[in-house]
Homo-oligomer: A and B are copies of this chain.
Amino acid sequence: MSEPSTYSVLVEVRLRPGIADPQGATIERALPALGFEGVRSVRSGKAFRLEVDAPSADDAARRAGELAHRLLANPVIEESTVTVLA
């Protein structure tokens, strides 16, 4: 299905549940006064777009996952999700 190519990968790094997120909490509190109702929760995090050369999409996801776990996220307080976009 997939072949050697350059894959665009999205890595989302977010705080683990229970870790305080003052930036997200501040946005969440501000929304009703700014005209946005119905938003129950806002959590802030980081997004990285990588262009990865790999033999397959699965391999690109695996490499990006390792990289995210070792370098982009702090595993004590953060978790990461990898999505191959194209």
Give A residues with C-beta under 8 Å from B: 6, 10, 12-14, 24, 27, 31, 34, 36, 38-54, 63, 66-67, 70-72
Contacts and interface: CB of A to CB of B under 8 A. Distances in A.
B48 A44 contact: yes
18 contacts: A6-B40, A12-B47, A14-B47, A27-B71, A34-B70, A36-B67, A38-B52, A38-B53, A38-B63, A39-B51, A39-B52, A40-B51, A42-B48, A42-B50, A43-B48, A44-B47, A44-B48, A46-B46
Q: Which of A6, A41, A44, A49 is packed against the most chain B CB atoms within 10 Å?
A: A49
Contacts of A12: 10, 12, 47
Nearest to A53: B38
